[in-house]
Amino acid sequence: MISQTYRLFSPRQIRVDQIDEKIGPDDIIVRPTYLSICAADQRYYMGKRDKTVLAKKLPMALIHESVGKVVYDPKGIISKGTNVVMIPNTPIETDKVIKENYLRSSYFKSSGYDGFMRSIVVIDRNRIIPYENIEERTAVLLELMSVAMNALEHFDKYSHMKKQTIGVWGDGSVGFVTSLVLKYVFPNAKIAVMGTTHEKLNYFRFADETHLINEIPKDFSVDHAFECVGGQYSGDAINQIIDYINPEGSIGLMGVSEMNVPINTRMILEKGLTILGNSRSGYEDFKSSIDFLNEHPDAKTYLSTIISDEVVVKKLNDINTAFQIDLDNDFKTIMKWDI
């Protein structure tokens, strides 16, 4: 089956490749309906990855956040038109200890392998999950939520039981979803969010406290914290967390940086802190995200507020428009995929 695949071949340059998709016995054909632009996609699009990385991974279809409708199930199990979320992480082995998203053998769509910017996607049936009672334009954020679910699983497993105050550094999309899930999963904990602008912090209406990073009270402290800043300022965020966290607390790292960042290891040792690395997600995290939204209907409303723009994509140039618009948005840019 021929798929029109929209591949980035150099910064800001996308072309249409005709790909003959092979359908295996366990595959399902899905037509993407909504896609969401991630910061990682934007770095590829703008050419802000190392040149050797770009040379190795391009050409490549971007986008790993997508929902769609089933076009055809060869086994006749899932009905045509069923709404599904597609899971970008693709494991080729299982491990009794290590989760699928941390196995070095797993591959990830839109990171060296074609993502979901395609007219149709042929995908293993174990890499989709049907969902109901969630609007498509909100469901496209399930991948983002699954990343938070993965981090919270780590947190629950490795952090100590004292959770009176949990801090989240970062007022972007990752910080929003992480603090939102924390508020529901740990209802007795105080959730405090640290950010850089009042305008963005105003979106965090569910949080118990919000503070500008340069106006944190002197007597403020947290039992645990999540770093959701990433980029060149992730080191600053981590070091500020180290200053305000109580002894033996855990720090969940979620922000991605393209360079090494210096952190205060002396105080990590003196306070006996635990550093938890978190990246991507797997099937169970997506399932937990769907269950979470169905159990907490008001969380769907909160989640929808971080959709800054919806761009209808009918032709190739509309994709470039969406990526350009995304540069000026505080939160998420989604694409209604009508191409």
The pairing of strands 128-130 and 121-124 is unpaired
Task: Check pLDDT > 90 for residue 94.
Answer: yes
Mean pLDDT of the 113-137 span: 98
| Mean pLDDT, the chain, whole residue set | 97
User: Cα 46 to the chain's mean position, in Å?
Assistant: 19
CB-based contacts of 10: which residues, under 8 Å, 6+ apart?
47, 54, 58
b/e 308-327 (16+ beta carbons within 10 angstroms → b): eebbebeeeebbeebbeebe
> Residue 259's pLDDT is what?
87
- What residues are paired with 149 via a beta bridge? none
pLDDT in tens, 287-312: 999 999 999 999 999 999 999 999 99
Share of the chain above pLDDT 70, in %: 100
Where residue 1 falls among pLDDT bands split at 50, 70, 90? confident
Check: CB of residue 192 under 8 Å from CB of residue 167: yes
The position carrying tokens 């060149």 is 232
Mean pLDDT of the 148-174 span: 97
pLDDT in tens, 54-67: 999 999 999 999 99
> Residue 322's pLDDT is what?
98
> Residue 184's pLDDT is what?
97
> Residue 87's pLDDT is what?
98
> Residue 77's pLDDT is what?
96
The pairing of strands 250-253 and 274-277 is parallel
3-state class (DSSP) for residue 73 = coil
Segment among 46-50, 85-89, 98-102, 280-284 with least mean pLDDT: 46-50
Q: How far apart are the first and last CA of the chain?
A: 17
Give this prediction's pTM: 0.96
Mean pLDDT of the 161-174 span: 98
pLDDT in tens, 195-215: 999 999 999 999 999 999 999
